[in-house]
Amino acid sequence: MMDYSRIIDVNINRAREGLRVIEEIARFILEDDNLTKTAKKLRHNLSYKKLATVTKDFPDTDKLISSRDSVNDIGANAPLKKRDNLLDITQANFSRVKESLRVLEEFSKTDRMFFQKLRFDVYELEKKVLVKIF
């Protein structure tokens, strides 16, 4: 059986990182307590500890972390795209979160609904945040 630990690990981290950027935008730029709390809750739902209680599909935290190979990751040196404004930053981070959740959903066999619900919660948060930015 193939080991998907690296895929799971990188997508958990990618989604959490994107949510952290969104959380900071909601907190420090939009100064919206509800949006900040929502982003934080979503980010916490993707902690290794929380995932261990929700899904049995993925390896334990130690296996995920030990599967990391940043030095030899062929995609690690991809050029970063310059973001010109707050809207670009926000949309890019929502995209990375949604895409990562979709990957986690695809690799989950028994708990797909957990990741699907998170993804749809992100859609709702995105709408609320973008309305405030426009």
Is residue 38 in a domain?
Answer: yes
pLDDT given at position 63: 74
Q: What pTM value is reported for the model?
A: 0.90
Residues of the chain with pLDDT under 70: 1-2, 59
Which structure tokens are listed for 115?
Answer: 């990741």
Contact residues for 81 (Cβ-Cβ < 8 A; gap 6+): 92
DSSP reduced 3-state for 87: helix
pLDDT given at position 1: 56
Is residue 123 in a domain?
Answer: yes
Is residue 68 in a domain?
Answer: no
Domain with 106, as residue range(s), is 5-63+88-133
Query: How many distinct structural domains can be found in the chain?
Result: 1
CA–CA separation, 4 vs 1, rounded Å? 9
Is residue 44 in a domain?
Answer: yes
Is residue 120 in a domain?
Answer: yes
* Cβ atoms of residues 111 and 105 within 8 Å: no
Burial class (CB in 10 A: 0-12, 13-18, 19+), 19: buried
Is residue 70 in a domain?
Answer: no
